[in-house]
């Protein structure tokens, strides 16, 4: 069954159209990789799904669990289960990571009509997850991502994913800026979250990440459209032959 249906999506940034009628279906419980050259619209797609301002949707629709996603504010999308792991997570000085995590989790729960977590329950949960991800406790006392290394920032994103338990995770260029060790830790964290109730969209330029997070389906994007879809072997094919063939096709 489809978790996310994107139909003929057209998106402009200022006066330039970036997505020219993109159609994509993400199945429940599956990991979909989206590959493509720089400028193909991969990050735009992730931002539009998450609701980032500055993008004008001029046509098409996005249905999430059958509901009109584009009609929802970013916080409503988060509460419904959409999670974007940022390519470059921002630093927020003065907002302690723990405060941020608790505020965000309880805001989502409140929006869903669920009870807010008590402080001891919350702390226990965060400690468990951060231990699995090898995140030191003192990091959680610091401002959100302030002074974190690239790897630590990505692990902090995975920590949030584990805490919020979204039904759709979008990983935007998760491998950018990470060395192999950092990548492996982050990827292990992501793999631990794979489940029949959770879908993932793994956006990447390189095949390397897909050695660690093995996708069920691979899509190739070029010039604002999905130009080819296939199994995980498609990623290897791309690694060998490059994107040039699709640039011509699109």
Partner 1 sequence: MNVALVKNDSGPAASSVFAAAQGRLPGAGKVADIRREAFAAFERTGLPHRRIEEWKYTDLRALVREVLPLAGTPDAAALARAKVAIASVAIDGATKIVLVDGVVALELSDLAALPSGVSVRTLRALLDEQSNESRGDLLLTKASDPMLSLNAALATDGVVVTVADGVQLSSPLQLIHVATASKVARYSRSHVLIGQGARAALVENSIAAEGAAAYQANDAAVIWVGDEAALSHVRLMRDATDVVNVSSELFTVGAKSKLSLFNMTSGGAVSRLQAFITLAGEASELIVNGVNLLRDKQHGDMTLVVDHAVPGCTSRENFRAVLDDRAHSVFQGRIIVRQDAQQTDGKMMTRALLLSDEAEADSKPELEIFADDVSCGHGATAGALDDSLLFYLQARGLPEKQAQALLIQAFVGEAIEAIEDDDLRERVIAAAQDWLEARA
Contact residues toward partner 1 (CB under 8 A) are 50-53, 73-75, 77-79, 83-84, 86, 89-90, 92-95, 99-100, 103-105, 107-108, 111, 143, 160, 164
100/206 with CB nearer partner 1:
100
Smallest CA-to-CA distance from 143 within 91, 90, 96, 89 is with 96
21/143 with CB nearer partner 1:
143
CB of 143 to partner 1, least distance (A): 8
CB of 166 to partner 1, least distance (A): 10
CB of 73 to partner 1, least distance (A): 7
54/196 with CB nearer partner 1:
54
Gap between the Cα atoms of 158 and 162, Å rounded: 6
35/69 with CB nearer partner 1:
69
52/127 with CB nearer partner 1:
52
HEC per residue, 125-148 = HHHHHHHHCCCCHHHHHCEECCCC
Q: Where are the alpha helices (DSSP H) in the chain?
A: 42-50, 74-80, 97-111, 119-132, 137-141, 150-164, 180-192, 208-212, 233-241, 244-249
Smallest CA-to-CA distance from 49 within 22, 90, 83, 79 is with 83
Gap between the Cα atoms of 103 and 98, Å rounded: 8
CB of 241 to partner 1, least distance (A): 35
Gap between the Cα atoms of 67 and 85, Å rounded: 22
Gap between the Cα atoms of 188 and 186, Å rounded: 5
CB of 127 to partner 1, least distance (A): 20
């Amino acid at each position: 069954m489809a978790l996310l249906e994107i139909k003929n999506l057209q998106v402009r940034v200022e006066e330039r159209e970036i997505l020219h009628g993109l159609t994509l279906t993400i199945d429940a419980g599956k990991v979909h990789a989206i590959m493509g050259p720089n400028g193909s619209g991969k990050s735009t797609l992730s931002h539009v799904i998450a609701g980032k301002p500055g993008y004008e949707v001029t046509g098409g629709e996005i249905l999430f669990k059958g509901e009109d996603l584009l009609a929802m504010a970013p916080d409503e999308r988060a509460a419904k289960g959409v999670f974007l792991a940022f390519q470059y997570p921002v630093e927020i000085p003065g907002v302690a990571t723990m405060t941020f995590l608790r505020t965000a989790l309880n805001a989502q729960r409140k929006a869903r009509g669920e009870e807010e977590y008590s402080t001891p329950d919350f702390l226990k949960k965060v400690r468990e997850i951060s231990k699995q991800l090898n995140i030191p406790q003192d990091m959680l006392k610091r401002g959100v991502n302030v002074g974190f290394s690239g790897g630590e920032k990505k692990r902090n994103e995975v920590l949030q994913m584990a805490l919020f338990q979204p039904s759709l995770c979008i990983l935007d260029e998760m491998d950018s800026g990470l060395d192999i060790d950092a990548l492996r830790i982050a990827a292990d964290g992501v793999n631990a979250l794979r489940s029949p109730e959770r879908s993932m969209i793994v956006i990447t330029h390189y095949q390397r990440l897909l050695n660690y997070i093995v996708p069920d389906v691979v899509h190739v994007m070029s010039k604002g459209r999905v130009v080819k879809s296939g199994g995980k072997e498609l990623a290897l094919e791309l690694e060998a032959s490059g994107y040039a063939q699709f640039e011509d096709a699109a």
